[in-house]
Amino acid sequence: MTDVLTREQRSYNMSRIKARDTKPEIKLGSLLSKRGIRGYKTHYHLPGTPDIVFVKKRLAVFIDGCFWHKCPKCFKKPATRTHFWMKKIKGNVLRDKEVNKRLKKDRWKVLRFWEHEIRKSPEKALSKIVKCLKL
């Protein structure tokens, strides 16, 4: 099946996809602030560039997009350019595993949440973070 958009249109659409300050990140950050939890950094320079980092507590939090990181619950295989996208997504999944190993080796705690988890029940994610921070 061919793409219904031109190369330029598809390129423009893909360039509009945000890598940072996504709605789930903003939602979780807002809940952290409302709870009075401060002192975290966003997109801190660590392997994998975690979305939220508590440097003093050595906690890295990732919010993974369901499509880009192949969520087992809601991932849908792309209909066009399937080989290209599956190769890219498989690479993302492998890189996530490597990032987890490297951070854990460097004595960081790693929490990963799916985009749909934050959208559905951000409070659950917040409670996991609070538990990890031991507040």
pLDDT surpassing 90 at residue 20: no
pLDDT surpassing 70 at residue 135: no
| Closest CA relative to residue 58, chosen from 66, 50, 68 | 50
Angle among Cα 27, 43, 119 to the nearest 5 degrees reads 25
What's the chain's average pLDDT? 92
15-19, 76-80, 83-87, 97-101: lowest mean pLDDT where?
15-19
pLDDT surpassing 70 at residue 18: no
| Closest CA relative to residue 58, chosen from 109, 130, 106 | 109
Q: What 3-state class would DSSP assign to 129?
A: helix
pLDDT surpassing 90 at residue 128: yes
Sorting pLDDT into bands at 50, 70 and 90, what band is 1?
A: low
User: In the predicted model, what is the mean pLDDT of residues 43-54?
Assistant: 95
Instruction: Tell me if the pTM is above 0.85.
Output: yes
Instruction: Report the C-alpha gap between 99 and 26 in whole angstroms.
Output: 23
pLDDT surpassing 70 at residue 106: yes
For each of the domains in the chain, give its residue range(s) and CATH number, in order of start: 18-133 (3.40.960.10)
Instruction: Report the C-alpha gap between 51 and 45 in whole angstroms.
Output: 10
